[in-house]
Structure 1
Amino acid sequence: MIRSIKNKLFLLLVAAVAFTSCKKSFLELNPPTSLTPGQALATEADLQVALRGAYAGLRGVDYFGRSVPILGDIMADNTYQHAVNTNRYTLFNTYSFVVTDGNALGLWTSAYSVILRANNIINSPVASNANVSQYKGEAYALRALSYFTLVRYFSKPFTEAPDSYGVPLVTTYNPDDKPGRATVAQVYALILSDLTQAYTLMTKYTNSSQFSKYAAKGLEAKVHMTMGTKASALAAALDVINNGGFGSLTAANHAAYWTSPAIRTDKLETLFEVSSDAVGNLSFDALSYLYSQAGNYGDLVVADDLYALFGAADVRKALYPVVPRPAAGAAIPTVNKYPAITGDLSETKVLRLSEMYLIAAEASLPASEANALTYVNYVTSRRGADAIASTGNQLFEDIITERRKELAFEGDRYMDLQRLKRTVSRSTNYPAAARTIDFTNFRRILPIPQSETDANPTIKAQQNSGYN
């Protein structure tokens, strides 16, 4: 009897569920996995959460969390892989990477993931107000930064071939799209358009881990310098210098600035950096572990010719202590620019005020050597370095060398060699077969990842030359 009653109750329950599930209102509901970006980002609070996710995407191990700053120095002449290593970035030390390279794939996918998140914020239908404008402005800046990173690593320099293949431009959500590569010029046009939007929309400064109006303008200065449009680079850099309200890094606070792992709210030096706080960090995969000798790795160390550039009184020299590597090995110059390897890890610097002065110095040439000297020596005078007093082409070379010294291990050196179309000339610290990398070498730009060309027939025929 009890079993019979239970069976009947079960059948009634099944019937009720079946009846309810057939209601029209139920059938019209969208499953959570089918929400459109417009539905998912329907409020101001939704945009804020999505923006946090976009920033978190910058911290990926093959993005600004580690690979981007490292590739910018190991593909150049600043850092090399020590003989005792954990086999990270070996193929970039030897210039032997191929289409299946995991770091190249990680950079590509990480950047496009941030672009997707930024697109969803930018295209959200949420009604405009001051906060929404700020969020969208930051999203435009993040998209610009991501495309700037992609086009510099996977395409020929703008200064060499603006009409050559750039990277696919994706500005709206379409999971079925198979885009081809836009031209380099088209990619830079979108970057500059995005930065104009960012500069216009943003009104708030929060801290160094979030884009602000003048961080976007600083990125614009860097973009124009990369394009070789010097007048625009100078104007943007001076806008930051004169109107941004950022304070200068000096010899007195230099050591403390690099020792502190905390994001800044005082507007000292840092325009924008990628945060790795005590909760959100890459742990052993963080940038600091690849450089610091206090951790388990410390694979990458300072090239001898770079270390030789620093005078005895230059406070920057203290960032590169000569210590045994490994613990019982020979003493060599090492990198201590990112010393925090526990808790709140060292941040990845992306844009700094000092670079704005160096951009202004370079962009002042050849029109005004006096201005160029003023701007470059603003930096040297605050590092305990000898003042630059050269003229003509030597002044230009001295400014480029000052960039190498000031921005070492921040991922900029290789990009300078690219935009200037220069041979990578490495010291004897590097393998003999990888000491001279001519500008025409096909590996001066990364391959479009094979997984991307396999999945996208449009881009398959657009692989970078030499990797086919």
Structure 2
Amino acid sequence: MKINNKLVVFAFSALACLQMQSCDEEFLTTTPSGSIQIQDAIVDEASLEIATLGIYSGMQSATTFGADFFTHQALLSDNGYVSVNNSNRFTDVNDYTHAIVDGGTVAGIWNFLYGTLLDVNNVISFEGTVTDEDAVSGTPDNRFGEAHIARATILFQLVNWYARPAGSGIDPQLGVVLPTSVNIGGSLPRATVSDVYDQIILDLETAISLMSEEPGVTRLGPTAAKLLLSRVYLYLEDYPNARLYAEQVLNNGEGFSLMGQSDVVPYYASESSPETIFQIEFNSTDNPGSNDAFYATWSLAGTYKQNFATREFYDLMASTDVRKGLYLDNIPASYSDAVVGVDVRKFITPDRDMPHFRMSEAKLNQIEALYYINETLARTELNTWVSTNRDSAYNTNASGSGLLSEILKQRRIELAFEGHRYFDLNRNELDVQKDANCLNNCSLPFTDFRRVFPIPRSEMNTNTSGGFENNAQY
């Protein structure tokens, strides 16, 4: 039975990251101070800067943007799998047994995102009250713009993990909690999917109007806002606007540019490239560590050496495709999987910054949007970009649904293990079909309830409005 009550508690009392401390694992057990102390945290531009940096500290969490979003997107789709030789990490996600109201995966993502969102809303609550000071670089408007983009980015993740895709027409009233102010311990209604997207768009448009400069690739700027707008409109099936904002990014004039063939493999060994628009910053002392970084389970150089790209994914790439060089066909014979997988070599150190917005997504967003506007132009753009930037031998004459499948295949290859594939399957209402290494729940239709994260039971149980049905699927 599905939830028929739209109210869900907004239990920030257990989540607060107060006085702009970083949102590490300890905040879940920290007794928060009162809201008055939060509101006193920002008194001038210097404290505004500290508070803004606190947002990025929250986004560094390995549970969300710092690592696991990339892992979940791969394992819930058809790009990766957990070897039978494993440490028990991520096996619930791999087997599709994660989608339970008491699940650590589901609750962990919810808690960390809303905890960081509290920091964001605290910053935004001071908008218009902070004076620009010569001694502090940048401007208050630019810092508030960053906060608006961060809120949009977090809400985008929430509504796509915990609700059905906007264009599906399935349960459009069951979105997520939509806080836009600091409200510790309060209850808020579960907003509709449409309302959440409206807020995302409003935040991004607000940020663009506020910001007069790019703050650097480790901070969110107006080009990142435009790229996320392009993605949002693609998900909403508003293809003219998806194309519009994708092309604004491609023609940004801010020094960002598409990487060529010779740049692809070196890109993942470097943290400085005009391809990157925004990445989560890590350094040698401030990173998820050898146990929790993405590479810990995905690389043979990592601690656990258990997650691999599927053979089916690897075989999508022609031998002439430079992206094939990001994977090594070198899994030892000691692994007893039904089909030998492939080692992922995109992120092989714990302190590698994690890119979340880059130029090549803008190109793929443009091409997909064009498919619905001008199929011939979409095919031309696809052929030009792939043959120039990834595979010199590439050419497709596909048309109709075959062309869309080819566009999605190129998107799958290009953005693999970077947090896109599962959402792309969902928004296109495609079934999940896993390869021979899958042992449980290997074929999940789009309509299966496990394609949506359920609201955590802890959230439902503390709903002061009552009427919540805890046996709901999501």
- Fold shared per TM-score above 0.5: yes
CA distance 1:122–1:244, change in 2 (3 Å):
farther
2:382 is matched with: 376
**Aligned in 2, Cα 1:454/1:41: closer, same or farther, shift over 3 Å?**
same
Is 1:251 matched with 2:261? yes
| 3-state SS, counterpart of residue 253 of structure 1 | helix
Structure 1 segment 41-440 matched on structure 2, within 5 A: 41-97=42-98, 98-124=100-126, 126-129=129-132, 131-161=139-169, 163-245=172-254, 246-260=256-270, 262=271, 264=272, 268-283=274-289, 284-325=291-332, 332-341=341-350, 345-381=351-387, 382-384=389-391, 386-431=394-439, 433-440=440-447
Superposed displacement of residue 451, structure 1: 1.4
> Helix, strand or coil: the match of 2:438?
coil
Contact kept in structure 1, 2:149 and 2:207, CA below 8 Å: yes
Conservation of the 8 A alpha-carbon contact between 1:274 and 1:350: yes
1:12 aligned partner: none
Q: For residues 366 and 176 of structure 1, do their structure 2 counterparts lie closer, same or farther at Cα, with a shift above 3 Å needed?
A: closer
CA offsets per residue over residues 179-201 of structure 1, 9 Å max, x none?
12100000000000000011111
Question: Residues 37 and 378 (structure 1 numbering): CA distance in 2 closer, same or farther, change over 3 Å?
Answer: farther
Find the residue that maps to 1:272 and give its secondary structure.
strand
Whether the 8 Å CA contact 2:85–2:335 is kept in 1: the answer is no
Question: What letter is aligned with 1:338?
Answer: F
**Residue 225 of structure 1, CA deviation:** 0.7
SS in 1 for 2:73: helix
Distance between the aligned counterparts of 1:459 and 1:348, measured in 2? Answer: 40
Aligned-pair CA distance for 1:119:
0.8
Q: Between the two structures, name the one with larger relative contact order (CA 8 Å, sep ≥ 6).
A: 2
Structure 2: distance between partners of 1:296 and 1:461: 42
Q: Which amino acid aligns with 2:181?
A: T
Unaligned runs of 5+ in 2: 1-31, 133-137
Q: Distance in 1 between matches of 2:87 and 2:249?
A: 41
The answer to whether the 8 Å contact 1:214/1:244 transfers is no
Report the 3-state secondary structure (helix = DSSP H, G, I; strand = E; otherwise coil) of the residue aligned with 2:40: helix
- Cα 1:463–1:50 shift into 2, 3 Å: farther
Distance 1:416 1:190 in 2: 21
Residues 450 and 308 (structure 1), Cα distance of their counterparts in 2 relative to 1, 3 Å cut: same
Structure 1: gaps (5+ residues)? 1-30
Structure 1 residues 353, 460: closer, same or farther in 2, change over 3 A? farther
The C-alpha deviation readout for 1:317-348, integer Å capped at 9, x for no partner, is 1111011247777864111110224xxx1222
Cα distance in 1, alignment partners of residues 471 and 421 from structure 2: 22
Change (3 A) 1:327 1:57: farther
Amino acid at match of 1:442: F
Q: CA RMSD in A?
A: 2.1
What SS class does the counterpart of residue 259 from structure 1 fall into?
coil
TM-score by length of structure 1 reads: 0.87
One-letter amino acid of the structure 2 residue matched with residue 396 of structure 1: L
**Contact kept? 2:63, 2:108, Cα under 8 Å:** yes
Instruction: Give the distance between the partners of 2:121 and 2:46, measured in 1 at CA.
Output: 17
SS in 2 for 1:176: coil
Cα gap change, 1:463 to 1:378, in 2 (>3 Å): farther
Seq. identity, %: 31
Q: Distance between the aligned counterparts of 1:464 and 1:189, measured in 2?
A: 30
Q: Could you say if the C-alpha distance between residues 288 and 197 of structure 1 is closer, same or farther in structure 2, counting changes exceeding 3 Å?
A: same
CA distance in 2, matches of 1:63, 1:34: 25
Q: 1:34 to 1:325 in 2, by over 3 A?
A: same
| Aligned amino acid, residue 91 of structure 2 | T
Question: Shift of the alpha carbon at 1:279?
Answer: 2.5
Shift of 1:377: 2.9
For residues 60 and 338 of structure 1, what CA distance do their matches in structure 2 show? 16
AA at the equivalent of 2:305: G
Kindly provide the amino acid, as one letter, of the partner of residue 377 in structure 2.
N
How many residue pairs get aligned? The number is 429
Aligned equivalents of 1:464 and 1:244: distance in 2?
A: 52
Residue 95 (structure 1) shift: 0.9
CA distance in structure 2 between the aligned counterparts of 1:463 and 1:229, rounded to whole angstroms: 35
Give the letter for the 2:331 counterpart. Answer: P
Question: C-alpha separation between the residues in 2 aligned to 1:61 and 1:409?
Answer: 15
- Contact 1:100-1:449 at 8 Å conserved across structures: yes
Distance apart, 1:33 and its partner CA: 5.8
CA contact (8 A) 1:180 1:459 kept: no
Residues in 2 aligned to 1:195 and 1:462: alpha-carbon distance in whole angstroms? 34
Mapped contact 2:230–2:365 kept (Cα < 8 A): yes
C-alpha distance in 1 between matches for 2:434 and 2:172: 30
Query: Is the CA contact (8 Å cut-off) linking 1:453 and 1:460 kept in structure 2?
Result: no
Q: TM-score, normalised by structure 2?
A: 0.86
Cα distance, 1:106–1:230 mapped onto 2, change above 3 Å: same
Give secondary structure in 2 for the equivalent of 1:182: coil
Q: In structure 2, what is the equivalent of residue 444 of structure 1?
A: 451
Contact 1:73–1:409 (CA under 8 A) maintained in structure 2: yes
Q: Distance in 2 between matches of 1:144 and 1:230?
A: 20
Q: 1:325 to 1:191 in 2, by over 3 A?
A: farther
Counterpart-to-counterpart distance in 2, 1:111 and 1:275: 17
Does the C-alpha gap of structure 1 residues 328 and 39 become closer, same or farther in structure 2, counting only changes over 3 Å? closer
Q: 1:464 to 1:377 in 2, by over 3 A?
A: farther
Q: Which has the higher helix share?
A: 1
Q: 1:462 to 1:353 in 2, by over 3 A?
A: farther
